[in-house]
Amino acid sequence: MTDLGALSLWVAVLMAAWGAALSFAGGALDRDDLARSGARGLAVSAGFTGLAAFTLWWAFVTDDFSLQPVATFSGEAMSAPFKLSAAWAQRSGVTLLFALACGACGASALRLHREGNRELMPWTAGMLGLLLLGATVTSAAVWNPFVVLEVVPEEGRGLDPRLQLFAAAIRIPVLCAGVASAAVALALGLPAAVRRQFPRARRRAVGTWTSVAWCCLSGSVLVALRLAYAGTDFGSAWIWTARAAANMSGGLGTDVAIVGSVVALPAGVHLNGGWRRLRPAARAALMAGGVLFACALTATTLRSARTVELPDGGSVRVADPFRRDWTFTSQGASRMERPDHFVTAVALRAARGAARAEFITSEFREYYARDDRERFPPHTITGVRGSLLEDVHVTLLSAGEGRAGVRIAFVPLAMWVWVGGVALVIGGALATWPVAAGGEDVT
């Protein structure tokens, strides 16, 4: 299977070069036969890229530790979904995933829009072929995921526990899909803009792919922010740690997604005739989402925190930013052993006035290999109680005999940051999706 994946990747490189060359030749010589052959070459390249990606994913799912990425980022004890996401936890896997996204989006665009302004399609196919060629060459020659180890280990190292989250698993595929969709929109729009031939069918195609790019790119930014927020002890400066969360989960930072989103939204609005011609729902969602996101994000800067040391059964009263008194009672620290790590946990019973009390638990996890060496850096899992008004964070700082040091923090209106972000994504999708002259949806 390893040889099949490596061979498929190189065949994808050759077919991408063939497709790009024939597509440009067909456009320059006005030869439909060359253009059609080039488009078929790109489709074949996308197919072989998919075969290479499937081979790599199969190696992760079946625990083929002869491959370096599998031995480094996977393990038998991991669940199947995270074994799959471990494939893009390193640069070689991300590069192959991006090549797959470019191939799939490019082949789909050529098939869906081949009847619209046929004389420009060869140039679009050529640009998409160059993009796919660059991605596959990088994957095959620079960051090859099919590197075989000379000595096969009995067990893989495993995936960093901080990446074994649903948000971390989906962020990189969504980001790759967004960048590939933006590239398709550019490949459809640039030849038309250069020749000043922008028929309605071409505008609709560009608008559709711009909308897809906006949804994926802005969605990946929102997921990266969520990862960064969850990775801090009480939300301090969490927005500035988004880049660290993004780099931790696959090697592609949020810079591309942010820039792409900033470009995609006004581009889609322009294609639809400007702000005044947008659907009322799009304007309302964008305005409400933007105001809500900005206000809620500003409110989180009013967070407050207090560090206390509680004996088992001890209590402490803490006031939140809204001047409400909370009582936190320690249930005591406990230490337990799990299959691949040790856990030190403390639970606090949180009560506010007559409201029903809830338990908030924070954990400190230490990961060790079979030879008792440290497997991953230890990290703390912050306990969070979320509500519409504020998030309450409890972070374990230390645990001793009969005592535990914790940090209790309040982050006002944190939940509304995500509500506003989702509203922005929906509003942007409505704003960038192409509309007909009469304002109705284009199908």
Nearest to 185 by CA among 211, 161, 166: 211
pLDDT of residue 106: 94
Q: Do residue 352 and residue 400 come from a single domain?
A: yes
Contact 342, 348 (CB under 8 A): no
- Look at residue 238 in the predicted model and tell me its pLDDT: 57
Q: How many CA atoms lie within 13 A of 436 on its CB side?
A: 5
Residue 284 maps to a domain: no
pLDDT, residue 249, reads 46
Q: Does residue 10 lie in a domain region?
A: yes
Neighbouring-strand partners of residue 67: 148
As averages over each run of 10 residues, the pLDDT of the chain (443 residues) reads: 88 96 92 91 96 95 92 87 90 94 94 77 94 95 92 85 86 93 93 79 89 94 84 56 52 70 88 85 94 92 92 93 93 85 92 86 84 74 92 92 92 94 95 68 40
Range of the domain at 222: 2-271
DSSP for residue 380: E
Backbone angles phi, psi at 148, to 5 degrees: -100, 135
- Whether residue 223 is contained in a domain is answered as yes
- 248 and 379 share one domain: no
Asked, for residue 285, whether it belongs to a domain, the answer is: no
Among 83, 12, 1, which Cα is nearest to 43's?
12
- Are 308 and 261 within one domain? no
User: What is the value of pTM for the model shown?
Assistant: 0.89
Cα 410–chain centre separation: 27
Pairing of strands 403-412, 390-400: antiparallel
Q: Are residues 261 and 308 in the same domain?
A: no
Cα-only R_g, the chain: 26
Would you state the pLDDT for residue 240? 53
Compute how many other C-beta atoms are within 10 angstroms of the C-beta atom of residue 307: 11
Number of folded domains in the chain? 2
- In this prediction, residue 246 carries a pLDDT of 53
Q: Are residues 237 and 351 in the same domain?
A: no
At residue 236, the pLDDT reads 54
Co-location of 343 and 215 in the same domain: no
CB 257 within 8 A of CB 265: no
Q: What CATH number does the domain containing 405 carry?
A: 2.60.98
Closest CA to 69 of 250, 274, 291, 273: 250
**Cα–Cα dist 437/443, whole Å:** 13
In this structure, are 349 and 393 located in the same domain? yes
Last residue of a domain, one of 271, 295, 321: 271
Give every CB contact of residue 339 below 8 A, 6+ residues apart in sequence: 77
Rounded CA gap, 417 and 198, in Å?
Answer: 39
| Residue 219 belongs to a domain | yes
